[in-house]
Structure 1
Amino acid sequence: MTTLGEAARAVLLTADPHAKRRAARGFARAWRRGELVHRCDVAMPDRPAWPERPELLAPGRMPRRRGGGSERGRIAMLHALAHIEFVAIDLAVDLVGRFGGAFPRGFVDDWIGVAADEAMHFALLDRRLAGLGSHYGALPAHAGLWEAAEATADDALARLAIVPMVLEARGLDVTPATIDRFRGAGDEASARILSRIYTDEIRHVSAGTRWFNWLCAERGFGPAATWQSLVKSRFRGVLKPPFNDSARRDAGLTQEYYAVIAS
């Protein structure tokens, strides 16, 4: 019988975007059907397999996106979001395969569900790009999205602190304004997709915060102070307002975590 770790590794080593999306959904189905042993007994790759396109560029080399009002600007924004969701599949699967064996089954349930959500988000965005005459891989993409995984590969607590509680929480801050821009341009189809993603992101941040707090309790740490220490030591960026305090609060990520260290 295949183990959880073996199945996760197989998803991570799938390069084609659509094959990876299908593999992530299949991973989730296999777990829910009881077809995977709850054991993470193989090493996860340092970096997942990715396609030749999109070309990955350092942040400073990324072309500036134009406003979201033009079709070209909307395609560029949707492509950037599709890339985020594509990498997010690997982030969720790696979290399960790298650390899931040390957690209760509920942890695996949550993060395999997140991986399946990210796969669905990617499919929705790629389909929308096709409807606008484009596709994932048509434009360059940000090369730095996996850096957080590399910086936290040694510690589940650090991974939970940075990926769901910083990076995905940032999506809660910026997505409502992006939805408004698409709506203002008359692109209701894209706005509906982003609204669905936004709703799911609240649940993902909630899962990250809940399991971070659980692991802090297991280790005897204070959650807010521990999170602040990890963000200062493991996150290369800065936390910048404005914050969507109400959505963060709905996810359990209250101001006691981030207000003290926000720039």
Structure 2
Amino acid sequence: MTPVAAACRDVLLHADPYAKVKAARAAVREWRRGRLSHDFGVAMPDEPGRPEHPELLPPNRMPRRGRAGSERSRIALLHALAHIEFVAIDLAFDMVGRFGRQFPREFTDDWLSVGADEAMHFALLDRRLRALGSWYGALPAHAGLWEAANGTAHDARARLAVVPMVLEARGLDVTPETVERMQGSGDEPSARILQRIYTDEIRHVGFGTKWFEFSCESDRIMPETEWRMLVARYFRGIVKPPFNDSARSRAGLTREYYAPLANFAKNRQDF
């Protein structure tokens, strides 16, 4: 029987976006049908496969998106989100293949379901881009999204703290406003896609919090304190408001985690 880690590695190594989506869906389907073993004897690659396009640029070289509400701006935003979802496919399967041996089988169930969601999100966004006369790869994209994976490749708890509990949680903060902007521009199809992604991401952040707390409880340490320590060590940005406290709370990510960091960021800005 094929190890689940081998299926995860296969997803990661695919460079073509559509092949990666197809491999992701196949891996999840095979796992759910009991055709993959709960075995992690296959190493994950340091870097996933990437297509020739989009061109990957550092944040300070990314072009402006254009006038807010314009079709050009909406296409640029959807392209940026498609790239986030494309990288998120790899992050989910790397989570399973790299750290699954450290957790119960349910961890693999959860993160493979996340991988299936991210593949679906990418496909929806790419389809929407094509309906608007563009496609994934037509514009440059942010080069730094895999940095969080590289920096936490040795530590499951750090990966959970940074990727779902900081990066994906930030999506919960900003997506409702983005949905409203799409609706205000008359782009209901894009708004519906982003609303679907938002709903799914609450569950993803919830998985991050769930397994982070499981790991902390196993070692008898306070999760909120451990999270703040790991974020300070491994996250290069600043955890700052505004926060969607309601969505974060639904995911189990309560203010006890992030309020002290947010207060620190505010005090530093005021100074």
Q: Same fold (TM over 0.5)?
A: yes
CA distance in 2, matches of 1:13, 1:119: 15
**Distance (Å, rounded) in 2 between the aligned partners of 1:206 and 1:7:** 24
Q: Which residue of 2 aligns with 1:190?
A: 190
Q: Does 1:151 align with 2:112?
A: no
Does structure 1 conserve the Cα–Cα contact (< 8 Å) formed by 2:12 and 2:90?
A: yes
Task: Check whether the contact 2:9–2:97 (CA below 8 A) recurs between aligned residues.
Answer: yes
Q: Is the 8 A contact 1:129 1:135 kept in 2?
A: yes
Question: Residues 165-219 of structure 1: CA distance to partner in whole angstroms, max 9, x if unpaired?
Answer: 0000000000001001000000000000000000000000001000000010111
Do residues 214 (structure 1) and 214 (structure 2) align? yes
Please list the CA deviations of residues 135-169 of structure 1 after superposition, one character each: whole Å capped at 9, or x if unmatched.
00000000000000001000100000000000000
- 3-state secondary structure, aligned to 1:138: coil
**Moved >6 Å (runs of 4+):** none
Give the whole-Å Cα distance in 1 for the aligned partners of 2:117 and 2:83.
14
Cross-structure match for 1:84: 84
The 5 Å alignment of 1:107-126 reads 107-126=107-126
1:43 to partner: Cα distance: 1.2
Residue of structure 2 in register with 1:27 after alignment: 27
Q: 1:64 and 1:217 mapped to 2: Cα distance?
A: 45
Q: Displacement of 1:100 after TM fit? A: 0.7
**Paired residues, number:** 263
Question: Which amino acid letter does the alignment assign opposite residue 100 of structure 1?
Answer: G
Query: For 1:137, what is the secondary structure of its paired residue?
Result: coil
Give the C-alpha shift of residue 246 in structure 1: 0.5
Q: CA deviation at 1:68?
A: 3.9
Q: In 1, Cα distance between the equivalents of 2:220 and 2:57?
A: 41
**What is the Cα deviation at residue 256 of structure 1?**
0.3
**Amino acid of the residue matched to residue 146 of structure 1?**
W
Residue in 2 that maps onto 1:142:
142
| Separation of aligned partners in 2, 1:86 and 1:205 | 17
Aligned partner of 2:44 in structure 1 is: 44
Verify the 8 A CA contact 1:3 1:40 in the aligned structure 2: yes
Shift of 1:127: 0.2
CA contact (8 A) 1:78 1:129 kept: yes
Written as runs of structure 1 = structure 2, the 5 A alignment for 1:1-263 is 1-262=1-262, 263=265
Whether the 8 Å CA contact 1:68–1:185 is kept in 2: the answer is: no
Q: How big is each residue's C-alpha offset from its partner over 1:27-53, in whole Å with a ceiling of 9 and x where there is no partner?
A: 100110111110111111111001010
- The answer to whether the 8 Å contact 2:65/2:72 transfers is no
State the shift of 1:67 in Å.
4.0
Tell me the CA shift for residue 221 of structure 1: 1.2
Specify whether residues 86 and 254 from structure 1 end up closer, same or farther in structure 2 by C-alpha distance, changes over 3 A only.
same
Q: Distance in 1 between matches of 2:4 and 2:28?
A: 10
Q: Normalising by structure 1, report the TM-score.
A: 0.99
Which consecutive residues of structure 2, in runs of 5 or more, have no partner in the other structure? 266-271
